Amino acid sequence: MSDSTVELSRAQWGSRFGFLMAMLGAMVGAGNIWRFPYVTGESGGGAFILAYFVLLLILAIPGLIAEVGFGRYAGQGVIGAFREGVSSRGLVGLGVVVLVVNVALMSYYSPVVGWTLYYAVHALMGTFTAGGFEPAAFWDGFRASAALTIGTHTATMALVGAVLYLGIRRGVERLVIYAVPGLVLALVAITIRALTLEGAADGLAFTFGVDWSKLALGQTWITALGQVLFSTGLGWGIALTVGSYLPDYDDIPIGGGVFTVIGNSSVGILAAFAIFPIVFAFDLDPASGASLTFVSLPQVFPQMAGGLLWALLFFVGFFFAAFTSAILITEVSVTTLSEETAFSREQTVVVVCGAIWLLGIPSAYWPTVFGFLDFVFGNFGLPLATLAIIGAIGWALGPERLRVLEINRNAGLYVPSVWNPLVRYVIPLVMLGIVANYAWANFGTPQMIGGVAVFVGVPVFGYALMSFLEGRRDRLAEDEAR
Amino acid sequence: MPAMLGLSLDVWATMLFCVVAFFGVSIWVLFYTLRQEDKKLALIETDGDLDTYSPRALRDLRHWIEAHPNPAHPDVQTARTLYNDCVNTLKATDRHFYDWSAAEIESLDTI
């Protein structure tokens, strides 16, 4: 099969807007809505935002440009991309690392999307504004019911599978071009209402007040680093996969880098404007994370004029944020496995979604399993995937090669050579530093042991697996050639 | 709303920074990149081809090719093709996506 036939047979984004919304939809998730505003307020407000902004510019934007560029350069999913980028058979196993981390991440993220689905459906039914509604009892009842938690997890994976089954253009793109603007519009509408509440100013003062002394604290910068690297989804394989569907004439630095990073952060800032004035106007605890969303805010909507509408906008928007991320996280495995196996894309969707559904049942049922996996894969697995991708670009493929051949081709923004050391040295060192910090802070705990086991064990597994499979593949190719 | 007026200057300054640096940049970049795509599509429709590198980016590509003379390198042939395609397009078309001067185009040669 000729190269041109391969290219023609692979789907591409139908429009620039579709690609941009896919990147944004993938990166904007639950964390933007409940975590970012709180972390900002706790870590120095304006001073934290400044630190965060600087790190976005020097780490997240260059990193995402590299990952999207690698995806388009290879024109394949994660394992195929590593095959293009590294010279050793075993190192192709770094693609397996990214795949394992994505599947594990999605296995416990799907139940969370299920929570948002459950609340979105109840918002549509008007449950939160009905008389006698008890938010805490409603939440506890939901979490205690295996039928509901596993049922919503099942519904989530069925919906994810349905969208992915339709393909990149008819499924993913068609969803994100409506869902992402819908989320932003919902947050804008809530912001307008929230800013007119009595006491809203306290929420703004909490989030945006400036404590310059926090800039001198190492912890502020570590927190900002964590927020930058985790909220932008750098190195998870999503940007690589989305980039692999990017047409040749399209730009990478602006769409894949600047817009994705600043747009994603803008949603976090917008959430701060939308949610925290409500939190302070109704005297809620800003540090309560998930329960802020599922227990505290539902108390507030009935007290607001037009509460049914605001609850609907908030929970449907929240579901969109979580669901679009779930779609793109799962797409990483679907793209890769449909290329690496004899299954069609449709068969792969069924297999991948079925496997994630099965693996996600323990997280849906037992909160302790969910908490353990979230800690292990959130703090060790995701940085490992980032190290695998950025390490492969920086040390195997070479950043200069990627920059001149792919990133600056048809670019809307010239990427200078100063980008090379950022990708080769700075991002990997920062990721290693973050992992070491987590390991040190939780030294000896089961979570830390589990995290280190993942950090060491998954690459060894990937290396051994791909050494075997690639060797077999080469032998088969030689036999065919003879 | 009157309480908003009581917010301190640093809160207002941070909010203004966020509006400009995040919302402003996002919206501007979104429209800028969509306009660029329209321009590219228009060029492809009218001229049938598109210059793929800016002057600086094409210089970088040439330097990379010159630094990798080994034809066995996996990307050398691709790089030469990309370079030559861009040069040929620049010479064959009147309107360009990037800011190329006539003198710059005149000085280009294929590799």
**CA-CA distance, B109 to B107, in Å (whole number)?**
7
CB B78 within 8 A of CB B96: no
- pLDDT band for A4, please (50, 70, 90 cuts): very low
- Cβ pair A218, B21 in contact under 8 A: no
User: Which among A255, A266, A408 is the nearest to B60, CB-wise?
Assistant: A408
More confident call, B72 vs A406? A406
A56-70 pLDDT tens trace: 999 999 999 999 999
Give the mean model confidence (pLDDT) for residues A145-160.
Answer: 97
Residues 6+ apart with CB under 8 A from A125: none
Q: Quick one: which H or E segment has residue B40?
A: helix B25-47
Smallest Cα distance from B72 to chain A, Å: 14
Confidence at A296, pLDDT banded by 50, 70, 90: confident
| Residue with token string 């927020």 | A227
A193 sits in the region (left: phi over 0; alpha: psi -120 to 50; else beta) called alpha
The tokens describing A100, both together, are 């394992």
pLDDT of residue B71: 81
Q: What 3 state SS string does A314-356 have?
A: HHHHHHHHHHHHHHHHHHHHHHHHHHHCCCCHHHHHHHHHHHH
- pLDDT reading at A7 higher than 50: no
Question: The tokens of A332 are what?
Answer: 């990483």
- What is the rounded distance in angstroms from the CA atom of residue A260 to the CA atom of residue A234? 11
Return mean pLDDT, chain A. Answer: 90
How large is the average pLDDT for residues A119-131? 93
Residues on chain B touching A408 (C-beta within 8 angstroms)? 53-54, 56-57, 60-61
How many CB atoms within 10 Å of residue A414?
16
* pLDDT tens by residue, B65-82: 999 988 888 899 999 999
Burial of B67 (0-12, 13-18, 19+ CB in 10 A): exposed
Confirm if A268 and A36 have CB atoms less than 8 A apart: yes
User: What is the Cα–Cα distance from A233 to A23, expressed in whole angstroms?
Assistant: 10
With beta carbons less than 8 A apart as the criterion, state whether A207 and A276 touch: yes
Q: What does the pLDDT read at residue B2? A: 56
10-residue mean pLDDT profile of chain B (111 residues): values are 77 94 96 94 90 97 93 89 96 94 94 87
Residue A46: its pLDDT value, please? 87
Q: What is the Rg, in whole angstroms, of the alpha carbon atoms belonging to chain B? A: 22
**Which residues are A210's β-sheet partners?**
A45
- Res A54: pLDDT: 92
A52 vs B: CB within 8 A = no
Which residue type sits at A200?
A: A
The size of the A-B interface in CB pairs under 8 A is 122
Residue A237's Cβ-side half-sphere holds a number of Cα atoms within 13 Å equal to 34
Amino acid occupying residue A447: Q
Q: How many CB atoms lie within 10 A of CB A155?
A: 16
Give pLDDT, residue A393. 97
Choice between A23 and A293, residue whose per-residue pLDDT is larger: A23
Please determine, for residue A132, whether its predicted confidence score (pLDDT) is greater than 80. Answer: yes
Q: Is A53 on the interface with B (CB under 8 A)?
A: yes
Output the CA angle A95-A100-A105, nearest 5 degrees.
125
- Nearest C-alpha of chain A: how many angstroms from B18? 7
Position A303 scores a pLDDT of 81
* CATH superfamily entry for domain A10-472: Amino acid/polyamine transporter I (1.20.1740.10)
The complex's ipTM works out to 0.94
Contacts of B13 in chain A (CB under 8 A): 46, 210
Outline where A86-217 has alpha helix (H).
93-125, 135-144, 146-165, 167, 174-194, 200-208
Q: How far lies A59's CA from each of A70, A417, A461, in Å? A: 16, 15, 29
- Region A397-420: mean pLDDT is 96
What would the two tokens of residue B24 be? 């402003």
**DSSP letter string, A234-250:** TTSSHHHHHHHT--TTS
Phi, psi of A249 (to 5 degrees): -80, -5
User: What distances in angstroms separate CA A285 from CA A207, A288, A295, A345, one per listed residue?
Assistant: 13, 6, 11, 46
Question: A255: helix, coil or strand?
Answer: helix
Between CA A207 and CA A43 the distance in angstroms is 9
Confidence band for A176, pLDDT divided at 50, 70 and 90: very high
Distance of alpha carbon A398 from alpha carbon A386, whole angstroms? 16
Given this model, what pLDDT does residue A8 score? 35
The helix/strand/coil state of A210 is: strand
pLDDT (tens digit, 9 = 90+) per residue, A303-321? 888 889 989 998 998 899 8
Q: Mind listing the pLDDT tens digit for each residue in A329-353?
A: 999 999 999 999 999 999 999 999 9
Chain B CB within 8 Å of residue A20 CB: yes
Cross-strand bridge partners of residue A267:
none
Structural contact between residues A227 and A34, judged by C-beta atoms closer than 8 angstroms: no
User: What pLDDT shows up at residue A9?
Assistant: 44
Q: What is the Cα–Cα distance from B62 to B91, expressed in whole angstroms? A: 17
Judge whether A367 is closer than 8 Å to chain B, CB to CB.
Answer: no
CB count within 10 Å of CB A266 equals 25
| pLDDT at A3 > cutoff 60 | no
- Residues of chain A in contact with residue B26, where contact means CB-CB under 8 angstroms, are 259, 262-263, 266
Residues constituting chain A? 482
Cβ atoms of A183 and A321 closer than 8 Å: yes
Domain range list for chain A = 10-472
Nearest to B53 among A204, A408, A412 (CB): A408
For residues B67 and B53, the answer to whether their CB atoms sit within 8 Å is no
Q: How many residues does chain B have?
A: 111
Nearest residue in B to A399, CA atom: B64
Is the per-residue pLDDT at A2 higher than 50? no
The beta-carbon neighbor of B26 closest among A210, A249, A266 is: A266
Mean pLDDT calculated for residue range A409-436: 94
Q: What is the pLDDT of residue B102?
A: 94
Q: What is the pLDDT of residue A10?
A: 64
Q: A428-461 pLDDT, tens per residue?
A: 998 898 889 888 988 999 989 999 999 999 999 9
Radius of gyration of chain A (CA): 22
| Average pLDDT for A102-120 | 96
Written as six digits, the tokens of A31 are: 């964390």
